[in-house]
Structure formats: C-alpha cells, structure tokens
A and B are shown apart, each in its own frame.
Chain A
Amino acid sequence: MTDTVQQEAKRLAQLLIDVAADPKAALRAHLAGGRKVVGCFPVLTPDEVVHAAGMVPFGLWGGRKNAVESTKYLQAFCCSVMKANVENGMTGVYDGLTAVITTAYCDTLKCIEEVWKVAVPALPSIPFVCPQNRKDPAALDFLESAFARLAEALGAFGGRPVTEEALEKSIAVFGAYRAEARRFSLAAAQHPWTIPAAARHGVLKAAYFMRKEDYTEILAALNDALGQIPDEREGKTGVVLTGLMAEPNAFLELLPDYGFYVAADDLVHESLQFRADVPGPEAGGSAARRLAMRFVGVDGCSLLYDDEKRRGKRLIELCEAHGARAVIACMMKFCDPEEFDFPLYSKELAAAGIPLLPVEVEQNMAGAEGLRTRVQTFSEMLRFG
C-alpha cells in the first residue's frame, strides 16, 4: 500500500518538477490555450491583480544563462538572476509574454526596469514599486494606488477590468494555493526519501509557471498522498535553507548524499511567497486594501525594510519548530540585501548554538562539485562536532 502511495506521490511531484524544469513549455501551453501571460519579476508582485484581469502571472527568476547580450547594459558585478532576466528578454526566451511586471525591491531591480525599456523594447514592462516603509499607514494607500495603476496597465494589454468581485475570487484562489504550499512544505519535510531537497524545490517552483488553480489541485493531491506515507526522517538531519533562492539544482542534489533534508525554508523564492496570507474580510476594507495588507505583513525578508530585523529570530524559531539542526545560507553572489543580513543572523544563530553553513551560489555556475567538500565537512562537523 505504502509503495503504491509513494509511487503516486512521486508521479504527482514529477508532474510539477517537469513544469519547473521547462518553463518555456508551460508558456507555450498557456499560449496554445489562448491565455495571456504576464511575466512577474522578483520578489513579490500582486499576482492576484494579474489573475483578476484574466491573465496568468508567470514568475521570472533568471535561469541558467550566461551573460552575453546583457553585458551591453550591465556590468559583471550584477547578480546572475537579473543578468539572466535581461539576457532572456533580449534573446527571445520570453517571447509570447504579453508584458512583464518589474519591481524595485533593491537598487539593481530599480535599474533593471530602466534598462529593460531600452534593451527589450518589444516586451512592454509595467513597473510595480512596493513601498519600503510598510508600517506607515500611508504605505497602504500607496500600494492600493499601485494596484490600480497595474490593473489599468493590464487593461491596455487586453486584461479584463479588475472588479472587486474578480479580485475577491482571485484572492481566494491564491489563498488556497498558499495553504497547500504551506501544507506541502511540512509534508515534504517529513518525507525526505520521497521528496528530497531538489524535488521539494521543483514542486514549489512550478507554482510560478502554472495557473494557480491547476497547480493547487495537483499539489493538494500530492499532499494527500504524502499524508499516507510514514515519516521518513529517521537518521537524517534537518536543515533550514535561507537566502534569495536555492539554485542551481546541482547544489540541492548534494544534500541527500550527506543525509540532509530541508526541514523548512526561509527562501525569498519559496516560502516567502506563501507564508503570509491576504487577510479575510474581517480585517476590513476593499479587496485591494486587504491585498495591500499582505505586502505590509511580510516580515523577515532581506528585501523588505524590517525595523526590528526579525530574520535571525525567525531562523531560530524555524529551526526549533521544525527540528532542524542547522541553517544553510544560499548566498546569491552580488545580492546586496542578502549580504547585509548575513553578518547579523549569523551572529544570532551562533548565540543560539545553531550551526550555519554559508554557500555562495550563482544560477549559472558550472556545477556544484566545488561545494561538495563544504557540505561534506559540515555534515561531519554536525555528526562529530
């Protein structure tokens, strides 16, 4: 019985992993279905607004691409994620998208919107600027008008008018997705044999490229299947991953070799997307107002101003809550916000007695063999240290 369920879980997970491995195929499928697709830059975009406009939000988080054309605009010390986005835009990888929503969460992203207008003129961009002083009540007003501008811009590209009713429905769709994603995060942690680190990443990543309704349906079935499989954690060591994103896959594939599984993540690319919900009607205000509250409510992210700098505390709580023995920091090279957070949370983790392994990653790195020794040494240190 367990074997059959496990096979079913693996089959469902693979459906999603395949989508994550080939976003271009997912895009083609959307276009073949007559859907308009809107690219969404890191780190948070109001995807509910895109959905309510009858379009598909499609995550654009770089890829394994070397900078060639983009060197015309960006110096070598730009992060690999943004170099890859510009490169993809310039080389036609994003052809078929109706528009892209750019963001301004860091200094690089602010520049990318400006570069994009010149470098990728055929693919229109819509800038979305999230305020940083999010606890100031004025930030909610600012966000609401940003959503309204976005809805208007999407309308110009064939999007439906974003009515209150449509936005409420979209909020419900995304609420269901986030609930299942959180459930999956817990379920995957208990089943590192069925869902090893790289598979967990692939399953979560697929959310960026699919209609949320379709994704949630498969994910819910996967969660149900995982719920029937006994706990697989024995003898393995749980870690919490933190950082912008845990790529390339080659790095994640190293983890099971040394008995590591992902007990929880604190990655911008993964759990940040689903850890905060849009509050329900009891919070008061229109759908747009409540959507704005979600942006205000996300804490502990390097790209969002946090007056209390909760990141270290969050990581300690995550380790405690999920039985993780250590933290692995996936340091995306040239990501300033992440590099600023590192010294502080590393100190807090040390004070809490939680070991930390920082690894420097770039999306287009040739392989992760160079990191193998570090992961191996870390595992030995945990075992004997």
Chain B
Amino acid sequence: MHNMQTVVDLSRWQFAATALYHFLFVPLTLGLTFLLAAMETVYVTTGRKIYKEMAIFWGKLFAINFALGVATGLTMEFEFGTNWAQYSRFVGDVFGAPLAIEGLMAFFLESTFVGLMLFGWDRMSRGKHLLVTYMVALGSNLSALWILIANGFMQSPHGATFDPITMRMELSSFTDLIFNHDAQAKFVHTSIAGYVTAAVFVAGISGWYMLRNRHMELAKRSFRMAVLFGVFASVGVISLGDALGFIDGHAQPAKLVAMESLWHTRTPPVGFNVIAFPSQKQQRNLYALKIPDLLTPLVTHSMNTVIPGADEVEQNAMVRMRDGIPAVLALKTLSAEPSNQAALAQFDAHKKDMGYALLLERFAPDLAAATPTDYERAARSVIPDVAVIFWSFRIMVLAGFAMLFFLGLGAFCSLNNKVHERRWLLKLAPWFIPVPYIACEAGWLVAEMGRQPWTVYGVFPTWMSASTQSVAYMVFSLAGFVLIYSIFIAVEMYLMVKFIRKGPDDGATAMLAH
C-alpha cells in the first residue's frame, strides 16, 4: 500500500512536470497564430510589404515554439496509458473521443497548414495564404478546445454515467460533454490567456528593438498591434477568470476552500483574504489580511449566498462516504454475479456517492469496518493543498492585472504614436515577457492541484487511478523527462534569442518569403 502511494505520487509529479513544461510552449502558439493572422490581414487589405515582413518574422519565432510544443505534448497522451492505466480504463470511453479529435485537430489540421503558412508565401495568392494562416490559428485553438473538454469532464463530470456491469464510465450525452460549463469557461480563459502571452511576448521584443533603434518600422507596428490585441484579451481573461471561479465555486467547493483559504462556514457576506498563511494541519489561517464582505459578491455574485468552508465540505464528504458504501459493496457483488438484481437496485440507490466511498477505501480497505478516524482522515483529504493553491491563485491574479496595466499603458502610448520616446516603457517591456508564463503555470496549478484528491471530481479518486508501475520505473522516467524537457527549454531559449538578436533581416526570412 505504501509502495503504491509512492507510485501514485510519482505519477502525479511526472504528469505535473510534463504538463507544466508543455504549457510553457502552448500559450504562445495559441495567441501568436491569431496575432500573425491580424498582421497578415493588414498586409492583404492594404498591400503594405512591412506587414508581410512582420508576419514572416514573428512566424519564424512561432515555428520554433510550435515544434517544441508538439514534441512536449506527445508524451502526455502516452502517459494516460503508461502511468494512469486505471484512470484510462475507468473513463476511456468518455475521455478517448475528445483526445482523438484533439489529435486530429493538432496533427492533421494545424500541422498541415503550418507548413503551407511557413513556406507557401510565394506559392499561393495573398488571399489563400491568409486563409491558411487563419486555419493554423483555428487549428491550434480547436486542439486546445478538445483537450479542455476532456479536462472539463475531469473537473465537473457531465455527459457520462457509470455502468456497474462493465465497471467504467460510458458516454451518455456528447452534447453535455462538449457544452459542459466548466469546459467552456476553461477553454475561453486558457485560449485568451494565450492571446495575452503572445501580446506581451511581441510587445516585449518590439520594445527591445525600439530601445536599440533597430527595425523601427517593424517594431512600432508590431508593438501597436500586440498591445491592442493584448489589452482586450486581458479584459477577456479577467472576465473569464471570474466566470470560471463562479462555475468552479459551485462544481468544486473544496477547490474554492483552497483558493480562498476558507476554513469555516460563516454568515454572509464573508471577507476576502488578501494574504493568508494557512495551516492544513490545524485547519486555520495562522495569519490573514482581510477585506471585509468582499468574497461573497466576488464568488457568488450576491451578498447573501453562503460559501461553504472546509468544515462544511468535510462534513458533507463524510455523509456522502456513508451513503456511497452500499454502492461499492453492490459493485463487489456485481463483479461476481452481474445479473444480481438486488445488487443492481442497491447500486442504483447509492451510485451518486460511489466516488466518496472509493475515496474512503484508501483509508479503510474494509469499508464495512471503517472507523470514525478513517472517515475523518478521508474527509480531511477532500481539501486539496491550501497553501499552494491559495498563493498560486493570487500570483495568477496579480500577474493578470499587472499585464492589463502594462498593455493598457502600452496601448495609450502607442495610440499617441509616442511609444518610441517612452524609454522607460521600452525598458520595462522585455521584463514583462516571463509574467504571462508565470500566470499560466500558476493557473494550471490552481486548476489541477485544486481538483485533488480526484482525477474525476467526486467520482474517481486519484489513489485508484495510477498504473501498477514500480517505483524505480517511475523515478527513472521522471528523471528522464525532466532532463529531456529541460534540454528542450534550453534549445527553445537559445533559438529564440538567436533569431531575435538577428532580427527580421537575415537569410531565413528571405528563404521563407521565396
């Protein structure tokens, strides 16, 4: 049991590491494609060559990022099979379809058009090339859509039911799966976060060029287009962040507890913890700086809705564990006698709480003999790591508002056509490039660590989801991934810096154009 828990922890570390590495590449791909499309749209409508140069130069940086993004993303799909075999068996019927469509979108739509976009400048008419660029943008974002539909199911399972005979989740409504509110809000939030990343990236490099008085025509136009692109996208990201908080607040109360470090249920309106030092063990905040009455309207969009604290979430979990035990016991009967009608009826009556009984099973392998201590330990495990999620959430929000401020300021200076004279802004711009990446990584930590201890929220616990690999295999493969992905990051940084330093006037630009 102890060994198995180590394998589960190592599997989590491995998936987290590969996902976080992969997500260093994805946001720029999502956003830069649409920014390239905007630049090319101006080229096609006005015929000005500078916009073609812009599209080619930024397209080259996109190509470096895209190649490494695909390379790092591939392994994650295999990890579902190698490290999360139980999870894949349990939800494969639901998860497989969006994952397969994502593969088609990424490899057939996006990758096919990427080649045409990069090397087709003089082989197609301007209009056709523009269409290709839009297809690349659409393909990259639609591939993200399908991944996030699958992820939305893990966060808030809709559109599937558990079959007690086959012992796995089966798709009951494809439309419920794709129109899941969590998936929708998460997709738009993630996609537009990519737009902000691309905007800050292009503005940062353009600012660096202007500071050195290099490629001024390209840099001024790129900066203008990027900051306008980014300032509207930032407003969208913040709006969708609010929507996602509202949706998750209902779907995953334990995640909300962790995001806000809310240990006790209080009479509304509840104060907002700006800063808190939570103690998971003592289930309280060692210190908290609060703004009175702010959290309730922020999270519930009302002044009198009760927000459940950790104490209430744990109590509810205990009730659901007790209610779910007959469902799990019925499953054990059904695995030996699938046609046992009494067991089927017992399962049907308690199936909504089956996941909570499975969660309890980690602490009490013999569910019928579970002690109050087992229940308490299982209930406490329902609350994810509060300190990590609380601070990751605040880092993400702070970074989001900082980028809105920077892009707004950039847009104001650029619209006055004075940006090249504002040297302090140009100096600041490159320093902002890491900020959207930090925000994106922090956002993923909130979303995925906040879902714990579940792989499918409220249905299937993480402790049951991993494969039966050995600890040595997990340590070896984790070390291998970290090493290889670190090399990928180093290669990306080297190539990016090399091509940025060279600027748009090198041979590669000409090669792509002819």
A and B part of one assembly: no
B binding-site residues for A, Cβ under 8 Å? none
Question: Which A residues are closer than 8 A to B by beta carbons?
Answer: none
